């Protein structure tokens, strides 16, 4: 749990503290909530132990978080996040490093290049657009907060609604195909023109790049990031904050390109917003671009599996002192759901080696075998059910997906040996009509107790 104040602000900004979070009012501590992410707790912990930690401080963490929102395919109310953060440096090299690490991580878990993209924007650029449009007053950050929330959410939906849908939300609002009405920001025509110009520059530049890709112009594709950056620069040139944000994006793109992370992996995308209000600079998210089918067999893209950004003011909530920080959160459950939907990982992996029990009075001997296997890095467990029916022990091993079962009765113990049953091979023999293929590979054999580890390792490697 965290105090609601520690979690920061969310989009939309509303009076009720538990929008998006599971929160309740405590008699002593005010509003508290189940943690929304692992970033706010990091800021609190760093503030508490800052005198003992190195600066910059890098860390990763994994654990459950909770979201008070509607669940859907790959989207859960409780799920695991894996976070990586760097605290204590204002250099955007840290942001570039996080994005490159995220690309490497996705490929390491089985997302092939071309099936994902890391998209980067900058909150300073978005603030610059708002400032030029006259809905952000640097002297009074809370002024026009409601309108900015609607505008940001509209820009975030550009890929789904298109430029016309976004433009409708800047004005009076829009009604979707189901008849649901979404109120707009009710901006003036002049304000809408500024924000629409930003949106139009994005869609135009992206369309040019798509055209080049369609005709195989790889040289133009390599210019995606510089092209996009240049297209938005004109919109925010009247805002010092916007100009600073553009310069940071240009630097990040250059650092990534120098390391070989081109637009096929990391792209500048000015439509990226991110929902948390504590971001102060670069923001990024990883999107899976391949199609899957939903429960009704309809094609759909899986979407985002990771997001993050720079949050230079978060630690300040606890210390009063600004400490720069940046980081990324990967939705582990969502990523696994995507991999399973794509058929790139099996739902069930290989189970542990099961040490069967032939004599209750020799339980310590069986546990010693399991311990020996574990110390060698092999997953192992002792059967703890009723050992009277040996067949049930083997059925249990099958349900656990065990590759091997260890058997030692009174006779084997006296001779210092064990029986090793190759469950994978046994299953193959049971499926085939002839034993000729397997006659030189017995499904069960005997080996000395001191050779147990080596024999099991050999079988597992073959499985």
The tokens of 302 are what? 């899986």
Burial readout 246-258 (b: 16 or more C-beta within 10 A, e: otherwise): bebbbbbbebbbe
- Cβ–Cβ under 8 Å, residues 283 and 119: no
pLDDT tens per residue, range 453-462: 999 998 887 6
What is the model's pLDDT at position 252?
96
Sheet holding 30-33, edge to edge: 2-3, 30-33, 23-26
Predicted confidence band of residue 69 (pLDDT cuts 50, 70, 90): confident
pLDDT at 328: 95
pLDDT tens-digit map of 206-251: 777 667 655 555 565 667 788 888 888 988 999 999 999 999 999 9
Q: How many CB atoms lie within 10 A of CB 127?
A: 22
pLDDT at 302: 76
First to last CA, the chain: 43
How far, CA to CA in Å, does 361 sit from each of 365, 366, 408?
A: 9, 10, 13
DSSP states of 285-306: EEEEEEEEE-TTS-EEEEEEEE
Residue spans of alpha helices (H) in 314-422: 316-319, 332-341, 363-375, 390-399, 410-415
Q: pLDDT grade, residue 342 (50/70/90)?
A: confident
In the chain, % of residues over pLDDT 90: 45
Cα distance between residue 54 and residue 60, in whole Å: 15
Domains and CATH numbers, the chain: 2-341 (3.30.930.10), 353-462 (3.40.50.800)
Q: Is the pLDDT of residue 202 over 60?
A: yes
pLDDT per position as a tens digit, 91-102: 999 999 999 999
Nearest Cα to Cα of residue 168 among 418, 155, 433: 155
pLDDT at residue number 25 = 83
Percent of the chain with pLDDT over 70: 87
Taking all residues of the chain, what is their mean pLDDT, rounded to a whole number?
85
* pLDDT over 50 at 418, yes or no: yes
Distance CA 333, CA 78 (A): 9
* Residue 438 confidence (pLDDT): 44
Alpha carbons 252 and 102: distance in angstroms, whole number: 14
Using alpha carbons only, what angle is made at residue 350 by residues 344 and 353, rounded to the nearest 5 degrees?
170
Query: The tokens of 364 are what?
Result: 């310590």
What is the arithmetic mean of pLDDT over 394-409? 92
Say whether pLDDT at 436 is over 80: no
pLDDT, tens only, 347-361: 556 889 999 999 989
Give the mean model confidence (pLDDT) for residues 393-398: 92
Phi-psi region of 377 (alpha: psi -120 to 50; beta: other; left: phi over 0): left
pLDDT category of residue 427 using cuts at 50, 70 and 90 = low
Mean pLDDT across 101-107: 95
- Segment 15-64, tens digit of pLDDT: 444 567 888 888 776 788 888 888 888 888 888 898 999 989 999 999 99
Residue 2 is predicted with a pLDDT of: 81
Backbone angles phi, psi at 19, to 5 degrees: -70, 115
pLDDT computed for residue 11 by the predictor: 38
pLDDT of residue 463: 54
Name residues whose C-beta falls within 8 Å of residue 217's C-beta, 6 or more positions apart in sequence. none
Mean pLDDT across the stretch 304-320? 86
More confidently predicted of 295 and 16: 295
> Tokens 């920061």 appear where?
8
Distance CA 162, CA 258 (A): 33
């Amino acid at each position: 749990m965290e105090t609601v104040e520690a979690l920061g602000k969310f989009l939309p900004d509303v009076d009720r503290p538990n929008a998006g979070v599971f929160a309740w009012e405590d008699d002593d501590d005010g509003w508290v909530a189940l943690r929304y992410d692992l970033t706010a707790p990091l800021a609190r912990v760093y503030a508490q132990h800052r005198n003992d930690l190195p600066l910059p401080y890098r860390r990763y963490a994994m654990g459950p978080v909770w979201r008070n929102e509607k669940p859907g395919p790959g989207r859960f109310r409780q799920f695991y996040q894996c976070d990586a953060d760097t605290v204590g440096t204002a250099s955007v090299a840290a942001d570039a490093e996080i994005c490159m690490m995220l690309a490497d991580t996705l490929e390491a878990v089985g997302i092939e290049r071309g099936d994902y993209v890391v998209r980067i924007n900058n909150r300073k650029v978005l603030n610059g657009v708002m400032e030029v449009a006259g809905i952000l007053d640097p002297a009074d950050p809370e002024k026009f907060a409601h309108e900015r929330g609607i505008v940001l959410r509209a820009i975030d939906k550009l890929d789904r609604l298109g430029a016309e849908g976004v433009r409708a939300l800047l004005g009076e609002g829009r009604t979707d195909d189901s008849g649901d009405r979404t109120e707009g920001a009710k901006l003036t025509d002049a304000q809408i023109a500024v924000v629409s110009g930003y949106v139009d520059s994005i869609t135009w530049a992206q369309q040019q790049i798509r055209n080049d890709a369609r005709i195989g112009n790889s040289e133009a594709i390599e210019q995606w990031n510089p092209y996009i950056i240049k297209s938005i620069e004109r919109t925010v040139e009247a805002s010092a904050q916007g100009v600073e944000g553009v310069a940071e994006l240009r630097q990040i793109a250059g650092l990534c390109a120098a390391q070989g992370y081109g637009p096929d992996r990391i792209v500048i995308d000015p439509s990226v917003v991110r929902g948390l209000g504590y971001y102060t600079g670069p923001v990024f998210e990883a999107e899976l671009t391949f199609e899957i089918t939903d429960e009704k067999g309809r094609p759909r893209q899986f979407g985002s599996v990771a997001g993050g950004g720079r949050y230079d003011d978060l630690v300040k909530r606890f210390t009063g002192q600004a400490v720069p920080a940046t980081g990324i959160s990967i939705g582990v459950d969502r990523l696994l759901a995507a991999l399973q939907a794509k058929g790139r990982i099996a739902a069930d992996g290989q189970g542990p080696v099961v040490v069967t029990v032939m004599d209750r009075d020799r339980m310590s001997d069986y546990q010693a075998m399991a311990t020996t296997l574990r110390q060698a890095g092999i997953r192992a467990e002792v059967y703890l059910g009723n050992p009277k029916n040996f067949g049930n022990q083997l059925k249990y091993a099958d349900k656990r997906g065990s590759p091997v079962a260890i058997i030692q009765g009174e006779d084997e113990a006296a001779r210092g040996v064990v029986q090793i049953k190759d469950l994978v091979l046994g299953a193959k023999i049971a499926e085939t009509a002839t034993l000729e293929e397997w006659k030189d590979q017995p499904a069960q054999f005997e080996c000395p107790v001191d050779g147990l580890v080596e024999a099991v390792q050999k079988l597992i490697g073959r499985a």
